């Protein structure tokens, strides 16, 4: 058990190492030379480390914006944070989480090998988070021991192929059929944004093509526009919070200098993320051909959501702002309904909302980007509120998961648990039956879609 837990924490829970292993296996399977294997594996890992460095920089900036908004506008409530929930879960469910993740990854490979869902989920930290969620909600529902681990692993492996499959139709439009899939558990929101975009807008009217007056031509540079928008947001928050709070956060820095540096730091984080994504795509896709050819024919690598950012950088920023606006409106609505007040978390709204903006833009242009990401903001806010009761028994009252797939999975399993009032056998049978039904229906839909594509070709 100690070895398994160590393996999960040191390998599978580290996205850079997991992607490096995938590249290594793929290159070896293609019988590449040692220099090619070393180069491809190293660059794949470096790409993810660069991405993580950018994300860390960006999150550090957002973490300073949060207290300003809370102080300036007296916003208090539950702030969704995946990392916080997982940290709490590990105190009592560390072993279950580790086992579900290990066997879930094996189940992912088996599902990809023997079903029409040809995806290998490579976003290690999200796999870890979903394993933690499953261990928590299955335990709350009444399962324990081997049954909890087995059912959790089967569900996790299924989600690791089903969610990339759900997003694939719109992901291909986002990436122009580049051969990569989306491996991020905010997929329900992305799919919904893509669907909304296809109904309300025109994909040819891309927000990336929006024409600006010559005097505002500097906005065409996504990093410059990102810096300016974030500077305005930071400045408003800092003025509302007051100079005392700014001095506390900045260590005595001038208000104007602090807000400007934080805005530029945010934009720098975005720039680093984009560079890391380009390096990952340049190495992991060719390397992954080995896995597709030797282990899982036709398999696609499912990667983290920032992989979509380079395809529509303006949509990322607009999506973030619109998703955050949806979160603010939802916060007021939840309070008026007497439900738990969900304070919009800047990190989920940036990454999930930004990706929803990319999906909406790919299918419906600027209208799709704006409306799709706005609805995503509402979805993840209400989803977080409905998930809270499912986690309360384990002491998660003060935080919850911020991404849509964690939310709907937890809500469904929690509802099954409440329906059978802790009857472990009935809960296990019901969940397995639901899983089998979803896999069968999904397989039929996937096969029919492939047949339609073949006829069109």
Quick one: pLDDT at residue 330?
Answer: 94
- 88-120 core/surface letters (b: 16 or more CB in 10 A; e: else): bbbeebbebbbbbbbbbbebbbebbeebbbbbb
Per-residue tokens: 187: 């997929």
Question: Which residues make Cβ contacts (< 8 Å) with residue 311, sequence separation at least 6?
Answer: 174, 175, 176, 358, 362
Quick one: pLDDT at residue 185?
Answer: 94
Residue 62 has pLDDT above 90, yes or no: no
Q: How far is CA 331 from the centre of its chain?
A: 21
pLDDT tens across 368-388, in order?
999 999 999 999 999 998 988
Which pTM does this prediction carry? 0.79
Hey, what's the torsion of the CAs at 244, 246, 250, 253, to 10 degrees? -80
Question: Which residues make Cβ contacts (< 8 Å) with residue 397, sequence separation at least 6?
Answer: 78, 388, 391
Of the candidates 237, 234, 233, 235, the residue with the CA atom closest to the CA atom of residue 74: 237
pLDDT tens across 2-13, in order?
776 676 666 666
Of 282-291, 407-416, 418-427, minimum mean pLDDT range: 282-291
Task: Over range 125-153, report the average pLDDT.
Answer: 87
Alpha-carbon distance of 8 to 214, in angstroms, equals 53
Quick one: pLDDT at residue 456?
Answer: 44
Alpha-carbon distance of 283 to 288, in angstroms, equals 9
Residues listed for the chain: 457
Residue 346 has pLDDT above 90, yes or no: no
Alpha-carbon distance of 406 to 386, in angstroms, equals 11
Of the candidates 242, 210, 254, the residue with the CA atom closest to the CA atom of residue 73: 242
Q: What is the average pLDDT value for the chain, to the nearest integer?
A: 83
- Under the banding of pLDDT at 50, 70 and 90, the label for residue 393 is low
Residue 339 has pLDDT above 60, yes or no: yes
Residue 400 has pLDDT above 90, yes or no: no
Report the percentage of the chain scoring pLDDT > 90. 28
Phi/psi at 300 (nearest 5 deg)?
A: -120, 140
Task: Over range 316-326, report the average pLDDT.
Answer: 92
- Under the banding of pLDDT at 50, 70 and 90, the label for residue 457 is very low
Neighbours of 74 (CB within 10 A): 8
Task: Over range 298-309, report the average pLDDT.
Answer: 89
As beta bridge partners, residue 120 has 301
pLDDT tens across 148-195, in order?
989 999 999 999 999 999 999 899 999 988 888 999 999 999 999 999
């Amino acid at each position: 058990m100690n070895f398994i837990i160590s393996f999960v924490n040191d390998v599978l829970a580290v996205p850079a190492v997991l992607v490096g292993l995938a590249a290594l296996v793929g290159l070896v399977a293609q019988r590449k030379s040692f220099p090619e294997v070393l180069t491809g594996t190293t660059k794949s890992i470096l790409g993810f480390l660069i991405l993580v460095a950018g994300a860390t920089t960006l999150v550090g900036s957002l973490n300073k914006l949060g207290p300003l908004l809370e102080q300036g506008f007296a916003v208090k409530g539950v702030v969704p944070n995946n990392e916080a929930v997982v940290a709490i879960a590990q105190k009592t469910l560390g072993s279950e989480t580790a086992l579900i993740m290990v066997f879930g990854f094996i189940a992912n490979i088996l599902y990809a090998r023997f079903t029409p869902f040809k995806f290998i989920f490579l976003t290690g930290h999200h796999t870890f988070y979903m394993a933690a969620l499953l261990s928590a909600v299955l335990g709350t529902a009444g399962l324990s021991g081997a049954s909890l681990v087995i059912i959790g692993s089967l569900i996790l492996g299924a989600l690791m192929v089903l969610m990339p499959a759900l997003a694939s139709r719109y992901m291909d439009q986002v990436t122009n059929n580049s051969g990569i899939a989306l491996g991020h558990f905010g997929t329900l929101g992305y799919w919904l944004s893509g669907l909304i975009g296809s109904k309300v807008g025109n994909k040819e009217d891309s927000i990336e093509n929006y024409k600006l007056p010559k005097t505002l031509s500097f906005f065409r540079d996504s990093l410059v526009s990102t810096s300016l928008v974030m500077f305005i947001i930071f400045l408003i928050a800092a003025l509302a919070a007051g100079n005392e709070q700014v001095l506390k956060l900045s260590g005595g820095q001038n208000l104007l200098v602090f807000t400007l540096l934080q805005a530029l730091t945010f934009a720098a984080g975005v720039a680093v993320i984009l560079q890391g994504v380009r390096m990952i795509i340049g190495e992991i896709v060719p390397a992954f051909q080995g896995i597709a050819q030797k282990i899982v024919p036709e398999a696609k690598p499912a990667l983290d959501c920032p992989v979509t950012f380079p395809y529509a950088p303006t949509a990322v920023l607009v999506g973030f702002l619109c998703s955050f606006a949806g979160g603010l409106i939802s916060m007021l609505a939840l309070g008026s309904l007497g439900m738990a007040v969900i304070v919009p978390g800047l990190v989920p709204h940036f990454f999930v909302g930004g990706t929803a903006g990319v999906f909406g833009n790919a299918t419906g242009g600027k209208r799709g980007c704006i409306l799709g990401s706005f609805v995503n903001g509402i979805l993840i806010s209400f989803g977080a509120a409905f998930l809270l009761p499912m986690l309360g028994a384990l002491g998660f009252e003060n935080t919850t998961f911020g991404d849509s797939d964690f939310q709907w999975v937890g809500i469904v399993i929690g509802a099954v648990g409440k329906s059978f009032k802790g009857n472990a056998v009935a809960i296990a049978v019901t969940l397995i039956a639901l899983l089998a039904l979803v896999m069968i229906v999904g397989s039929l839909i996937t096969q029919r879609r492939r047949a339609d594509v073949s006829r069109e070709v």
